[in-house]
C-alpha cells in the first residue's frame, strides 16, 4: 500500500504523558479500596511485577494475566461500570494541566490522533473517549459470551511489540511514519520515538532528558 503523506498522524502515550502515574497500578489500588481485591491478591500482583522488573522472568504476558485474574467470568457490563467509576474518581484528577492543550493544538493543526498504550482496552477505550480521540492501540482483553476470561487477546503492547504493532497499523492505514509525530515519557518508548519523523519526550526524568538531548528528540512538559 502506498503511504499517504496527506495524513499527519500524532501518536500519544498516556501514562506519564497525559496523566500522572500508571493506569494499571492505579486500577489495582482502586479495586483494593473498593474491597474488590483483598490484600493477599495485591501482594501477589506486586510480587509478580517486581519479579519481572528484576528480570527473574521475561514472560510479561504471564505477569499481566496473573493481575487480570480478578476479571475471570466477570460480565463486560459490570467491568465497564467499575472502569467508569475509576475514570471519574481517579483518572480525571490525574490529568496533567496541559494535556488537553496539547491534544487540542494537534487537532487544530490537522493531525489524526492515535493513543498508543500498554494498558488494557477496557480502560484505554474510556480514556480515548475522555480526550475525544477515536483511534487507539493497546493491550486487548479476551472475552467469551459477554464475559471476560482473565486472559490477554494476542500480545501485550509493550517493548518490541509496541513498535511492531504501530508499524503494522501505519502500513494498514497507508500512513507515513516519516510524517508522524510521537509523544511519550518512558525509556521503553525510545524505539517508538525514533521510528517517527518528529518526537517529544514528555515530562522527562534525568535519564530521558539525557536520551532526548543525545538523540535530538524534543522535550515537552504537560505538568
| pLDDT 10s digits, 17-62 | 999 998 988 898 898 888 888 887 777 777 766 655 565 556 677 7
Res 219 pLDDT > 50: yes
What are 119-154's pLDDT values in tens digits? 999 999 999 999 999 999 999 999 999 999 999 999
**Residue 96 pLDDT level (bands cut at 50, 70, 90):** very high
Give the pLDDT score at 5: 46
* 3-state per-residue secondary structure call for the chain: CCCECCCEEEEECCECCCECCCHHHHHHHHHHHCCCCCHHHHHHHHHHHHHHHCCCCCCHHHHHHHHCHHHCCCEHHHHHHHHHHHHHHHHHHHECCCHHHHHHHHHHCCEEEEEEEEEEHHHHHHHHHHCCCCEEEEECEEEECCEEEEEECCCCCCCHHHHHHHHHHHHHHCECHHHCEEEECCHHHHHHHCCCCEEEEECCCHHHHHHHHHHCCEEECCC
Pick one of 3.40.605.10, 3.40.50.300, 3.40.50.2300, 3.40.50.1000 as the CATH number of 8-220: 3.40.50.1000
- Determine the average pLDDT of the residues in 5-21: 90
Using one digit for the tens of pLDDT, what is the confidence trace for 159-184? Answer: 889 999 999 999 999 999 999 999 99
In the prediction, which pLDDT does 66 show? 75
pLDDT at 6 over 80: no
- Sorted by where each begins, the domain ranges of the chain are 8-220
What does pTM read for this prediction? 0.90
- Section 64-91 average pLDDT: 92
Res. 208: pLDDT tops 50: yes
Amino acid at each position: 500500500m502506498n503511504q499517504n503523506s496527506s495524513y499527519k498522524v500524532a501518536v500519544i502515550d498516556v501514562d506519564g504523558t497525559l496523566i500522572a502515574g500508571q493506569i494499571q497500578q492505579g486500577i489495582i489500588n482502586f479495586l483494593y479500596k473498593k474491597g474488590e481485591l483483598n490484600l493477599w491478591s495485591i501482594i501477589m500482583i506486586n510480587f509478580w511485577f517486581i519479579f519481572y522488573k528484576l528480570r527473574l522472568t521475561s514472560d510479561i504476558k504471564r505477569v499481566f494475566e496473573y493481575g487480570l485474574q480478578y476479571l475471570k467470568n466477570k460480565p463486560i457490563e459490570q467491568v465497564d461500570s467499575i472502569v467508569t467509576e475509576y475514570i471519574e474518581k481517579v483518572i480525571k484528577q490525574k490529568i496533567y494541566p496541559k494535556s488537553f492543550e496539547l491534544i487540542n493544538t494537534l487537532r487544530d493543526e490537522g493531525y489524526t490522533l492515535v493513543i498508543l498504550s500498554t494498558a488494557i482496552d477496557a480502560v484505554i477505550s474510556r480514556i480515548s473517549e475522555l480526550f475525544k480521540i477515536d483511534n487507539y492501540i493497546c493491550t486487548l482483553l479476551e472475552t467469551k459470551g459477554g464475559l471476560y476470561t482473565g486472559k490477554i487477546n494476542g500480545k501485550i503492547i509493550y517493548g518490541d511489540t509496541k513498535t511492531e504493532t504501530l508499524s503494522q497499523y501505519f502500513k494498514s492505514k497507508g500512513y507515513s511514519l516519516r510524517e508522524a509525530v510521537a509523544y511519550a515519557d518512558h525509556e521503553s518508548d525510545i524505539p517508538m520515538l525514533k521510528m517517527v519523523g518528529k518526537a517529544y519526550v514528555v515530562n522527562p526524568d534525568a535519564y530521558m532528558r539525557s536520551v532526548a538531548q543525545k538523540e535530538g528528540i524534543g522535550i515537552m512538559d504537560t505538568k
